[in-house]
């Protein structure tokens, strides 16, 4: 099998019905997308209902990567989008599908690895999922009936990817001996700071601790960090801890 052209990974987060996974696979293959990742599907995996619905797109399901959670699903990615129809109390760039897939094509053209998160059918992505994303994709649907199902949303993003991917002049970024930080690198950085700040009593009072941690993770995902940046920030925290112990 030939290697697929560079493309984003489409990540289905906690999908509830096998039929919707199969329909999403068909939507992806219509636009040449084959990199599906599935996070903790409700009815397990593999799913015969997904295979039946996928029809001629079974090869997308055959190659799908199953993961336990969102950090694992995007651990190798350098830029992540989250699709959501609801207003969120998070400070993040919000893009139209057209602009988002244009940015995705530019990032991939620079050697980046991009993922797009799609939430479960009933309620969509949770804030904890969205904090792992660098930007939000918001679809300008009818405000009186904003109900896109999973496969429809995948189809829309696939269409915009196909439209935007061809013929884009990519900006070149001089990386000076480093690469963009991956999702797993940013996740470990967030865990390091959260653990140390927890020990220092930063997350106070208790009833605000959860929202403070979400805001901190959201901060990391908004920053365009390189691998070198991540290592420096780890070093900053380690040195501050050493200084405190000496003092």
**DSSP-derived 3-state class of residue 26:** helix
Could you tell me which residues are beta bridge partners of residue 38? 12, 66
Last residue of a domain, one of 165, 195, 219: 165
The answer to whether 186 and 220 are in contact (CB under 8 A) is yes
pLDDT for residue 239 is more than 70: yes
DSSP result, 76-115: T-SEEEEE-SS--SS---EE-HHHHHHHHHHHHHTT--EE
Last residue of a domain, one of 105, 134, 165: 165
Q: Is residue 177 one of the residues assigned to a domain?
A: no
Same domain? For 83 and 121 the reply is yes
Average pLDDT along the chain: 92
pLDDT for residue 1 is more than 50: no
Q: At what angle do helices 227-246 and 183-199 cross, to 10 degrees?
A: 20
Q: Is residue 170 one of the residues assigned to a domain?
A: no
Residue 121: pLDDT band with limits 50, 70, 90:
confident
Q: At what angle do helices 18-30 and 150-165 cross, to 10 degrees?
A: 20
Summarize the confidence of residues 64-74 as an average pLDDT. Answer: 98
Here the CATH number for the domain that contains residue 86 is 3.40.1280.10
Residue labelled with tokens 């991939």: 108
Residue labelled with tokens 């593999």: 46
Per-residue burial over 208-238, b = 16 or more CB atoms within 10 Å of its CB, e = otherwise: eeeeebbebbbebbbeebbbebbeebeeeee
pLDDT at position 169 is: 47
DSSP result, 145-211: -----HHHHHHHHHHHHHHHHTTPPPPP---TT--BPPHHHHHHHHHHHHHHHHHTT-S-SHHHHHH
Could you tell me which residues come within 8 angstroms of residue 166 by beta carbon, excluding any fewer than 6 positions away?
A: none
The answer to whether 101 and 95 are in contact (CB under 8 A) is no
Same domain? For 204 and 159 the reply is no
The total number of structural domains that make up the chain: 2
pLDDT for residue 3 is more than 70: no
Q: Structural domain of residue 159, as residue ranges?
A: 9-165
Q: Which range has the worst mean pLDDT, 57-61, 66-70, 176-180?
A: 176-180
Q: Is residue 155 one of the residues assigned to a domain?
A: yes
pLDDT at position 170 is: 53
Same domain? For 109 and 144 the reply is yes
């Amino acid at each position: 099998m030939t290697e697929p052209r560079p493309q984003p990974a489409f990540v289905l987060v906690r999908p509830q019905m096998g039929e919707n996974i199969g329909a999403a696979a068909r939507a992806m293959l219509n636009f040449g997308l084959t990199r599906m990742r599935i996070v903790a599907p409700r009815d397990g995996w593999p799913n015969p209902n997904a295979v039946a619905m996928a029809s001629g797109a079974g090869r997308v399901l055959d190659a799908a990567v199953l993961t336990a959670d969102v950090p694992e699903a995007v651990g190798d990615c350098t830029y992540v989008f989250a699709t959501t129809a609801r207003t969120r109390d998070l400070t993040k760039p919000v893009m139209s599908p057209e602009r988002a897939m244009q940015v995705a094509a530019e990032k991939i053209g620079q050697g980046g690895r991009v993922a797009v998160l799609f939430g479960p059918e009933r309620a969509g992505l949770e804030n904890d999922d969205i904090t792992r994303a660098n930007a939000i994709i918001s679809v300008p649907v009818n405000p009186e009936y904003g109900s896109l199902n999973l496969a429809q949303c995948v189809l829309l993003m696939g269409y915009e990817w196909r439209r935007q991917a061809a013929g884009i002049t990519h900006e070149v970024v001089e990386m000076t001996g480093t690469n963009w930080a991956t999702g797993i690198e940013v996740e470990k950085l967030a865990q390091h700071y959260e653990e140390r700040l927890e020990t220092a009593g930063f997350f106070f009072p208790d009833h605000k601790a959860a929202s403070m941690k979400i805001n901190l993770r959201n901060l990391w995902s908004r920053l365009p960090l390189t691998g070198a940046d991540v290592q420096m920030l780890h070093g900053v925290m380690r040195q501050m801890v050493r200084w405190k112990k000496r003092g």
